[in-house]
Each structure stands twice: as C-alpha cells, then as structure tokens.
Amino acid sequence: MRARREEVEHLRGSLAEARQRIATLERELQARQAHDPLTGLPLLDILIRRLSPEIERSKRHGRALTVAVVDIDGFRAMNAHYGRTVGDQVLVSVGKALAELTRASDFVVRSSADEFVILMPETTSVEAVQAFDRILLDLEAPRLEQIDSIPISVGLAQWERGMSADQLVAAAAARVDVARSNGGGRVAAGDSQTEPDAAPRTEAQGDVVAALTEALLERDRYTGEHSESVVELVERVARGLALSEREVDHVKAAAALHDIGKVAIPDDVLNKEGPLDDDEWKIMREHPVVGERILRAIPGMGPVARIVRHEHERFDGSGYPDGISGTDIPVGARIILACDAYHAMTSDRPYRKAITHAEAIRELADGAGTQFDPSVTEVLIGCLYGQRQAGLARTEAELASAAA
C-alpha cells in the first residue's frame, strides 16, 4: 500500500513537472511569435496594443506623444549588391542602434522588411527630431566592414486629438516618404501635405554638387580643377573595390567637393608660393571640418560630409582632424586620399615641380599601410597602369595612322 502511494505521489510530481515544462514552452513560443527572430525586437502588433493606452493617457493628462517610423534607404539595392547575409547584419545593426540610442521609456519594434517603428511617450516632435539627429549621425559611422554608412529616412507624427493609433502610425509613415523625396538620410516632422515637393535625389544632389564645384573654381582655380581631375580616378577605384552605386555616387560627390572647406582659408595662406609655417598649417588643417559643416547644412549630404571630414586621415592614425585609423576611416575618404595624392604629386605647383608617373607610383607603394589603405593602393595602381597602357595604345594607333 505504501509503495502504491509513493508511486502515485511520484506520478503526480512528474505530471506537475510536465505541466510546468509545457507552460514554459508555451510562454517561449508566445514570446517568439511576438518578437522578430532576427533583431530580437517586438513586432508591430505589440506596439499597436501599447499605443492605445498611451493615447488615452495623453488625452487625460495632456502629455505629448510621438511615433517615429524609420526606413533604411536603398535597402533592396543593398541586399541585391551585398547579399542577404549583409542585409541581415544591417537590420540587426539598425535595430541595435535604435534600441540603444532611444530612452528606456521608448518602445522600438520591427514592423516590416526594412522598417522600424518607435513609440515615444511624453515626447514632442521637436524633441524627437533632436533625438533622431543623433541617431542619424551614429549610423553614418562605419558599423559593418562592407557598408560604410547606413542611411535612414525618419517620419515623425505627434498625436493630436481625434487621432486613432492606426492614424498616428500612418501619419508618421507618410512623412517617411517626405524625408525620402527630400534626399533621404533625414527626418521629416512637419505636415506631409504642406511640405514642398523636392526634386529627385540624384538630380537635386547633382545640382548642389555642380553649384559648389563652381564656387570652388571661382575661389581658387587650381583647387577646383584639381578636384575635378580627381573625380574620374576616384570613380574607377571605387568600382574596382566593388562599392555599390550609391556609395560610388557619394565618393564621387565627396571627391568633387573634398576641398570645399578651403573657401574659408585666407588668400595669403591658400595662395602662398612657399611652404606653410606651423600657424598657417594649423589654419589649413581646418578645411576638412569646415567642408563637413558646409555639406551637413544640405539635406541628404550627410554621408558625403562625413567622407570630406576624414579625407586627410592616414591609415596608421597619424592624420587629421580626428586621428582615426584603418577601416574606421570611411572607405570613400581612403580612396580620395590616395587619388588626391597621386594627382598632387604629378602636378606642378608654384613651390615645386611635378614628379614623374613612375616616381608617384613608387610613393604610393611606399605609403601603403602607413599613409594609404593597402587595398585602395593596390586597386589605384592597377587603374593607373591600365590607364597608361590604354594611353600608349592610343598614341601608337595615332602614329600608325599618321604614317599611313
């Protein structure tokens, strides 16, 4: 009898343990169904359920409430160019940045393939703009080896009386389209119905780059013509490194404008025929920072501005203005530094004569790993060799044609 009771107790214990295990598994399953398996963030349904009570609180207490919709610019093209693995890494990186750089009281979810939504209680749209300006800057820094920066467009909507949860999210989503139409890489918080339409990204930015390039030519013809000459070489190296079309466009724009900060350099320093003294070098070294400030004032030019700031950084960390090194330097800046150096070495200046193509190649090779990125240098030298061979072939063809 006693053995029977013990057996029953054992069976009861096993049954209770099994029930507990089933309950745990059910909770885990529910959690998995409510969370994105890639980023670990909750899904949109959870935010919608939380949003209605927040709206009620705002009604009762008159507190501000803002919703943000974040979309990764060019994500489909990024996926196609780099592959799904890199695309997944981008999503994880953006999700992590949004979770880390928003407040504990904010609620971040992943809502679709390349979109996130953030609930921001007790936050006005003006305060949300300030928060996302910092997030945009953070995402412009290198986060992945293959991706130089991650551009996002952000739409913000502040709750107003009469708006439902769905209407609030829809209003924020509509403003993402405004942010993107104005060039992307920015925040739109105004009334999407009254904001002026913008030109398409490539056309608008092309006009800006052309206007600033012309201003640079007027300020200093050598600097302007030098920048124009560097663009073609920069594009070839960027393509040789298999950068995406978007990144190639950014690097070309930065190459055209990498000296735009020199518009603020005094004439006696900019046009000095001899070597600069220490005080003059101090002034001259400000031009990348000035250039960045000029470009950051233009919507959609943030990634270009960042390249311009760092185009005098050296691979070993001994450059300026920030002394960063290696792959912390934007790849566009590493490309421009090497191409800029080659063109400068092979051009006459008032205070020195140009060196030969062969001597410049030797200087590039010697500087690989210290001043220049070795991978950029390798591709650049290959491009220069191919360019020279093509030039020789054209010359021989022209001579043969003339002789005939």
Mark whether 124 and 217 lie in a shared domain. no
Mark whether 69 and 171 lie in a shared domain. yes
Mark whether 389 and 325 lie in a shared domain. yes
CA 268, CA 7: separation in Å to the nearest integer?
A: 99
Mark whether 186 and 125 lie in a shared domain. yes
CA 163, CA 334: separation in Å to the nearest integer?
A: 49
- The maximal CA–CA distance of the chain, rounded, in angstroms, is 120
Domain residue limits at 240: 202-396
Mark whether 155 and 284 lie in a shared domain. no
Phi-psi region of 241 (alpha: psi -120 to 50; beta: other; left: phi over 0): alpha
Model confidence pLDDT, tens digit, residues 209-268:
777 766 666 555 555 455 667 888 999 999 999 888 888 988 999 998 888 888 888 878
- Give the end of a domain, one of 135, 168, 198: 198
**201 band by pLDDT with thresholds 50, 70 and 90:** very low
Dihedral of alpha carbons 169, 170, 176, 179, sign: negative
Mark whether 279 and 311 lie in a shared domain. yes
- Residue 43 pLDDT > 60: yes
Mark whether 217 and 192 lie in a shared domain. no
- Residue 388 pLDDT > 50: yes
Over range 313-323, report the average pLDDT.
94
The residue whose two tokens read 């220490």 is 278
| CATH code for the domain in which residue 267 is found | 1.10.3210.10
* Cα–chain center distance at 397: 45
DSSP string of 95-136?
HHHHHHHS-TTSEEEEEETTEEEEEEET--HHHHHHHHHHHH
> pLDDT value at position 342?
94
Tokens describing residue 60: 């009762």
Tokens describing residue 252: 């070309």
Window from 236-240, 328-332, 385-389 with minimum mean pLDDT: 385-389
Do the domain assignments include residue 23? no
Tokens describing residue 322: 């920030």
Torsions phi, psi of 66, nearest 5?
-130, 145
Q: Which residues pair with 112 in a beta bridge?
A: 115
Do the domain assignments include residue 71? yes
Could you give the 3-state DSSP secondary structure of residue 187? strand
Tokens describing residue 267: 């004439």
Mark whether 253 and 390 lie in a shared domain. yes
Tokens describing residue 235: 């594009």
Model confidence pLDDT, tens digit, residues 84-142:
999 999 999 999 999 999 999 999 999 988 999 999 999 999 999 989 988 887 887 65
- Residue 192 pLDDT > 50: no
> pLDDT value at position 193?
38
> pLDDT value at position 185?
81
DSSP string of 32-58?
HHHB-TTT-PBBHHHHHHHHHHHHHHH
Mark whether 245 and 316 lie in a shared domain. yes
pLDDT: is 201 or 375 the higher one? 375
- As for how many domains the chain has, the answer is 2
Mark whether 247 and 366 lie in a shared domain. yes
| Counts of helices then strands in the chain (DSSP H, E) | 16, 5
Do the domain assignments include residue 3? no
Do the domain assignments include residue 5? no
Strand 115-121 with 65-72, pairing: antiparallel
- Give the end of a domain, one of 198, 221, 237: 198
Do the domain assignments include residue 52? yes
> pLDDT value at position 350?
64
Do the domain assignments include residue 232? yes
Over range 14-41, report the average pLDDT.
65
- Give the end of a domain, one of 198, 223, 252: 198
| CATH code for the domain in which residue 73 is found | 3.30.70.270
Residue of 101, 98, 121, 100 lying closest to 111 (CA atoms): 98
Window from 229-233, 299-303, 398-402 with minimum mean pLDDT: 398-402
Over range 305-331, report the average pLDDT.
92
The answer to whether 287 touches 259, Cβ cutoff 8 Å, is yes
- Residue 311 pLDDT > 70: yes
Window from 15-29, 144-158, 342-356 with minimum mean pLDDT: 15-29
Q: How far is residue 350 from each of residues 251, 273, 274, 280, measured CA to CA in Å?
A: 29, 5, 8, 17
Mark whether 208 and 112 lie in a shared domain. no
Do the domain assignments include residue 7? no
> pLDDT value at position 116?
97
Do the domain assignments include residue 191? yes
Mark whether 112 and 229 lie in a shared domain. no
Residue of 170, 196, 67, 64 lying closest to 120 (CA atoms): 67
Tokens describing residue 270: 């900019």
> pLDDT value at position 197?
39
Residue of 306, 383, 310 lying closest to 342 (CA atoms): 383
